[in-house]
Amino acid sequence: MTVFSKKYGPWAIIAGGSEGIGLCFAQQLAAAGINLVLLARRQQALNDARATLAADYDVEVRVQSIDLSARNLEQELKSIVEGLDIGLMIYNAGAMHSAGLFVDNSLKKAQQLIDLNCHGPAVFCHTLGKPMRDRGRGGIILMSSLSGLAGGAYVAAYAATKSFDIVFAEALWAEMKAFGVDVLCLVAGATDTPSMARSAIDFDAGEFTPMRPEDVATEGLQQLAHGPVHVAGDGNRAVADILRADRLQAIELLSSGAASMFDKPFPIARED
């Protein structure tokens, strides 16, 4: 048993673990000898992930299709983890798939983002965080985005929910560190994942160089003990420094970035 698996094992649970960054987390944890519970919406993607992991690693892998935005999430999660010693929880859900002006999109869409990116992490951290605190070890990683560092046009609700994840992780880090539980918010920028490939994002527009998902996951696990917030990638850290320096400039930068990625106009022209 490695030092890592002793602190964060014997089981890890990954919400959004069927592909992309989540699957890369799973592969690296399996290599460390940690058993896995993978959660996502699409059952076939979960089955494929389990088969991939089973072929390469000698760990137990359980998968469960779940709606992470469901209001009964707490009950479902408790049923899934019953009897398991979860030493690491990774909430890797809530990617941005489309963009538009807040008042033009349906309110239901915004509410779903709030449920997925705010209600979901709160449920997972409350349900799994207390057992970690009580036994004096464990780790929590919440995925966020550069969009969470300031408001941006076309992604208002998404940016706000990702900001919640950053501040929430900071608070949990302050509360849990005395009990031996590490908390990290891993802030990702553009990343070359299947989810992003299915979206309307154009990585060739503007100056976007997407990271590899395995590199994002590697940085997250390396920085877990050094929270509360880590921005993955040298280029993204440089952008984050700019965003933190000037709030109005940050709003302009994120707005123009979202507009470029989703082929929208910015500045936004008023329609009379």
Residue 259: its pLDDT value, please?
86
Please, what is the Cα angle at 184 between 180 and 188, to 5 degrees?
165
- Taking CA atoms, 68 is separated from 41, 91, 124, 178, in Å, by 8, 10, 10, 29
**Rounded distance between C-alpha atoms, residue 73 and residue 15, angstroms:** 12
List, in order of start, the domains of the chain with CATH numbers. Answer: 3-261 (3.40.50.720)
Specify whether the CB–CB gap between 195 and 19 falls below 8 A: yes
Q: Does the model's pTM come out above 0.85?
A: yes
The structure tokens listed for 175 are 């509360």
Per-residue pLDDT of the chain (272 residues; tens, 9 = 90+): 688 999 999 999 999 999 999 999 999 999 999 999 999 999 999 999 999 999 999 999 999 999 999 999 999 999 999 999 999 999 998 766 678 999 999 999 999 999 999 999 999 999 999 999 999 999 999 999 999 999 999 999 999 999 999 999 999 999 999 999 999 999 999 898 766 666 656 655 555 689 999 999 999 999 999 999 999 999 999 999 998 888 888 888 888 888 887 788 888 776 65
**Rounded distance between C-alpha atoms, residue 173 and residue 45, angstroms:** 32
